[in-house]
Structure 1
Amino acid sequence: MASTTALPGWLPFANRVVKFLHRLGLPLGTIQLLSVPGRSTGELRTTPVSPFTAGAHQYVVSPVPKSDWVRNAGAAGWGMLRRGRVSRRVTLETVTDPAEKEAALRAFPDQVPNGVPFFVKVGAVTSASPDEFAAAAPGCAVFRVGPA
């Protein structure tokens, strides 16, 4: 199933609320803030993500592979992950191996169950089935997160 190009209208408001709560030191569930330099300005741009572990690696994923944060992360190869008031610099390596993308996405619904509705909303999947997430891998962006 291919993801739609339109993001939900509520997303900018929800992202602002999550960023505000993190600034107060109140992180929500698995959500962290990822800041990556913009492709043209170099200014850090911040978006909520939910890092998770699959196998021996940590990942962040997006069902919208042409979103600005995905394109910025791919171009920069690094970012700052913040949980509450604690930040760490990380590398962001674009995963191109289909088997690794499938394995990472297969783990997503179990590791980040609160992220499943977003994948459903944008049309990447229709359920929380790990097999369906693995099948959606070609249409998703997957980054391996590592130490800087």
Structure 2
Amino acid sequence: MSHYEPPSTVERMGNAVIRRLAEAGISIAGTRALTVRGRKSGKDRSVVVNLLTVDGADYLVAPRGNTEWVRNVRAAGQVQLGPRWHRRTARAVELPDDAKPELLRRYLQKWHWQVKGYVAGLTPDSTDDELRSAAPSFPVFSLR
């Protein structure tokens, strides 16, 4: 799981603006503010994520791969989602690779326009074999 696509300076600046909006309760195309305890510092770290909901269950997908927030979620085992004044805590359980292909497809159906530059050429029309092959590079967490 060493795949990681770091954001450009422009993307980091855009993400900071969108994160602040999400923290204020304003969602753009399904964005949510994610807060997780830092594995090294112990301080809360916030990022903006796209929350995928399938059949009433919530999932976090990391299209950039093994990011800092992914490593923090693995260490903490739980996250907080939502605006500053109404965060909900959820346990985050990382899914095995064989459970990811359909969730990756659903994620791409919703946000391919946003993540197409760093998902290794995957599209909503990628085959099951292509999604299975790519699954180890894209962490997915179930929120409970």
Q: TM-score range by the shorter chain?
A: 0.7 to 0.9
Q: Secondary structure at the match of 1:10?
A: helix
Which residue, out of 129, 142, 145, partners 2:143? 145
State, as a whole percentage, how many aligned pairs show the same letter. Answer: 23
Structure 2: stretches of 5+ with no match in the other structure: none
Q: How many angstroms apart in 2 are the aligned matches of 1:119 and 1:40?
A: 28
Please say if 1:67 is aligned against 2:63: no
Q: Structure 1 residue 134 and structure 2 residue 104: aligned? A: no
Task: State the AA in 1 paired with 2:9.
Answer: G
The 3 A distance-change label for structure 1 pair 29 and 64 is closer
Tell me the residue number matched to 1:87: 87
Partner of 1:30: 30
CA distance in 1, matches of 2:43, 2:81: 15
- 1:46 corresponds to: 46
TM-score, L = length of structure 2: 0.82
| 8 Å Cα contact 1:63-1:124 kept in structure 2 | no
> Structure 1 CA distance, aligned partners of 2:58 and 2:91?
11
Question: Whole-Å Cα distance in 1 between the matches of residues 21 and 56 of structure 2?
Answer: 30
- 1:27 Cα deviation from its structure 2 partner: 2.2
TM-score normalized with structure 1 length: 0.80
CA distance in 2, matches of 1:76, 1:131: 33
RMSD: 2.5
Q: Deviations over 1:21-62 (max 9, x none)?
A: 234432222000111100111111111111112345321101
Letter in 1 for 2:131: A
